[in-house]
Structure 1
């Protein structure tokens, strides 16, 4: 579904239930009100609410590593959130930090116009854009929306290895020209200089981890270890007709870039931080956040009465932050609110 189609879908749904949607009302503060409920300050005035649902998603504020302050002042730095096209960047080489969807797609775009690119590889998994006859997102949405009907709930938040895993990046794929795979080794063959994780900037030098071969192996194996078994289980459980899976892609090509790189010698004039986002609940004047800046909750019900959260990464499971999966969490929260209202 294209962007404008999705917006139209939301607009039509809001109109169909006559939802009292206020647009252009930026919330600046949420605080407890005397006598219960909340005071909500917005750019369109102050409101009183019995219940508040935090539904601002997981992509609130661009995340830029602290080491950005160690780069020379003449280096242009942009977060992927602010990047629009290659014309924003000065001449010279570009360092892209991060290989999630933004990092990979920007690398392809810059490569297509002949830019010299260095790419710091993260741990975002590669994945085939199409699997067993369908788009990758088709299987993800099927599993999130209908998987529970077949006892396939995917991973739940309680199965994650650590709280940090809630913020892991999405699979490295592209939606350009109908969607296609992005393989880091292919980018390397085409001239992109691959490096490990950017660890430090030291007196005009960039220092990368020296684990790039192992890192590439983990990135390539992740889909087959985590996502493929879930998709195959769903296909088997539903009895759907689907082509047999293709064998894993084998590629032994290895880059040979140094772990230490001088910015001037490499003619790097700009750095693009494709490093994702962090949660930002600075509008919330209620102490319900944990050390990860994530609301403390049980199935979206926070420890403060009347305050809820929905649409956050891994609120309850892998589908909590996508359109196809958020409905289950939202339904539970709506029932909880309705029960409180009915109970007075």
Structure 2
């Protein structure tokens, strides 16, 4: 990728992403900072929606089952690719690792993100408190949550109150899963930005996921499910911020040690805050998360602490790209 970046015309850079998830804020931020913008849609119906926005210069339809052709076309257009959850799910981590286009962040982390056990091992390596993981239903001695591999937005996740219920439900499963201790407390999802330009980890925002039957008005009549339908804004107690920042830094160091590349750009730690104010992290996302959409257009509550003006995450990405291009550091941002 460094060789491709050397051939790029830095005065004519384009920013591209898949037309879903956080594409609107990514491309709006890129256009605000003077970049040409490209959205890549799954089909023509989706393409038509994105074509209405003035800040998107081009909307393509792409074959996600064979993404290499699209990646090569992006390189021909001097484009930088911003990955997000829909990119990981639609294209798949294997194609994402091999796509011959400069991609924001630690690309190898997508392999770890696709495997729930590797995820937990990396968090443990970082010294961050995590829930108990059960390798077998016979180990279970309390309530658990079962999660599938990949970026599925909570689809298919379920809870079981004990071993017998768990064993009965696992018989029907046909895909890879992990069994975790079910934690009691408040969910909180922390948005970070790893900046090679400023040599720092920023706490940029936080959100709560709004999840179908868990948060909907089912009154015990429906099975709890965890499909994310939206996100709610969250401003954290200030006394929590030092430990949240500490965990973000520890995670970045663990990625460098275990995965072998430096974090760059947005990432997220997903947690439960217990009633004693301790934080247990049960997931991570090594790229931008949809929860950052909550402050699109008016900026996160923490961005003003770093820049003395509000920024959303799309603008923050574009700002980093612009400054990295000026400083000759694009190869520290894109892999």
Task: Give TM-score, length-normalised by structure 1.
Answer: 0.28
Task: Give TM-score, length-normalised by structure 2.
Answer: 0.28
Give the structure with higher Rg (CA): 1
The higher-RCO structure (CA 8 Å, 6+ apart) is: 1
- Name the structure where helix makes up a greater proportion of residues: 2
